[in-house]
Structure 1
Amino acid sequence: MKNKVQRLTARQTMGFILLSILINATGNGLTVSLNMGSALWTASTVNLSHLLNFDLKPLLVIYGVIVVILNAFLIKRIEPRRIINNFLFMIPFSYLVGWTAELFNLLPLDQLNTATKILLDCCGILMIATGVSIYQRVNILLHPNDDFMQILRFKFFHGNSAIAMWVSFMPPITISLICILITHQIYAINVGTAFSLLFQGSLIGLADRYIFPNLKHQGIESAAD
């Protein structure tokens, strides 16, 4: 982190951000549609939407607002620009996840055998990790959940993505358990969720190294302060 990091041009920044959002949203939408296990934050939102009988898309936004407040608490200050960027990412992304899930629902995915569904679901988790890796390195627009993980990663865990991811999963795990205890139903939690819990942090670290390896973390001081 002490080496000088080459700054991105505006065109590079926009290209990486748009690509990463598309990859991440598509991965999330695929896992929601397959119902073989979504990433922990998405899975907990799906379970909460069923508990409250509330549409997934605005609920994802409400979730993000709560995490924005948590992030401000962790860095012990309010950064208006950071919060605005979180919202600029979160609102269109939340609706994009909902829309991509609806598009995947139009495909006959339920007719696939279980092994194929699990494989596709794990591919969805891999897409999520890849998208997160790219826009965390760009570090201009972040979803509050991923900003939360990045703050933990560089402020408390010396850049270790796996440990930071496991710790960042505690809130969605807790919410999912509460929803399951109340409804006695489980949604979006399956093999893919376990795969996400065990490997998503490590997959982000691998994507940092092998997906656009010349793209280094930009402005990471704001997360580590």
Structure 2
Amino acid sequence: MGHSLTIVTNVGSMLWPASIVNIMHTLGWTMTETIFTEGMVVIILNVILSGRWQLRRFTRELTFLIPYSILMQLFADAYRMVGIDQLNFWWRLGLDMIGLTIAFLGFLLYQTCDCCFHPHDDLTIILKRRVNAQFVQWFNVLLPVIIIAGCTLYNHHMYAIHVGTLFGLLLQSRITGFFDRHVSCHCNM
């Protein structure tokens, strides 16, 4: 719900969802097709980097990826249907902040539940083991920025990068930390 809201407001998404939106516009695909295809590429990369095929890991990643790619599209369509993308900037900015906050809470909850993982999360774990945490931090910033820049050169337009992106980058750890202290402790899964 949260990432779809930030995409529809077009006032700033986090870097990976923003890169997906830019790829989507470059290829002319739906959001579902783009998210699923990009996720499958990351799953294959995870298999290559880990050096082995693990059915459990693959199943957990698909368990996340399939509904995520479909629900992102459905929520975005619903938000557009009610006209969120047509609101003035200040309303969209407020909704973008709400969307980012929902996305951060969602991230914390599915990490806490430990039942499925976004392929990027597994990629992060694999890279931390193979390289180090500092490399992963730079990787998770630079790769989506490179993707966005390449798509922008092709499209002559950048999507989903705005003030909300800066808000997300600066406050994600604080908001997630708040939810970790006050919400995840009540999750007994």
Partner of 2:184: 212
Count of matched residue pairs? 188
Look up the SS of the partner of 1:213 in the other structure. Answer: helix
Superimposed CA distance per residue, residues 5-30 of structure 1 (whole angstroms, 9 cap, x where no aligned partner): xxxxxxxxxxxxxxxxxxxxx10111
Q: Who is 2:154 aligned against?
A: 182
Alpha-carbon offset, residue 153 of structure 1: 6.4
TM norm structure 1: 0.73
Compared CA separation, residues 51 and 58, structure 1 to 2 (3 A) = same
Task: Pick closer, same or farther for the CA change 1:188–1:53 going to 2, 3 Å.
Answer: same
Residue 51 of structure 1 corresponds to: 26
Give the Å deviation of 1:168: 2.2
Residue 100 of structure 2 corresponds to residue 128 of structure 1: no
Q: Which has the higher contact order (CA 8 A, sep 6+)?
A: 2
Pair 1:193-2:168 in alignment: no
Where do 1:32-181 residues align within 5 Å? 32-151=7-126, 156-157=132-133, 167-181=139-153
Hey, what's the Cα distance between the residues in 2 that align with 1:171 and 1:204? 23
Deviation at 1:56? 1.6
Return the alpha-carbon distance in structure 2 between the equivalents of residues 94 and 198 of structure 1: 26
2: CA distance, partners of 1:123 / 1:153: 30
Q: Which runs of 5+ in 1 are unaligned?
A: 1-25, 219-225
Q: Measure, in 1, the Cα distance between the counterparts of 2:124 and 2:108.
A: 11
| Amino acid corresponding to residue 175 of structure 1 in structure 2 | I
Report the equivalent of 1:30. Answer: 5
C-alpha distance in 2 between matches for 1:150 and 1:104: 33
Identical residues among aligned pairs (%): 34
Gaps of 5+ in 2: none
CA distance in 1 between partners of 2:108 and 2:128 (Å): 12
Give the distance between the partners of 2:138 and 2:181, measured in 1 at CA. Answer: 20
Q: Which moved more, 1:92-101 or 1:50-59?
A: 50-59
Q: CA deviation at 1:70?
A: 2.8
Aligned mates of 2:166, 2:66 — CA distance in 1: 27
Q: Which moved more, 1:99-108 or 1:116-125?
A: 116-125
Contact 2:10 2:85 in 1 (8 A): no
Letter in 2 for 1:211: V
* 1:150 CA displacement: 4.8
Farther off after superposition, 56-65 or 101-110: 101-110
Deviation at 1:204, TM superposition (A): 3.0
Question: Match of 2:73, as an amino acid?
Answer: G
Amino acid in the other structure paired with 1:88:
T
TM value normalised by structure 2: 0.85
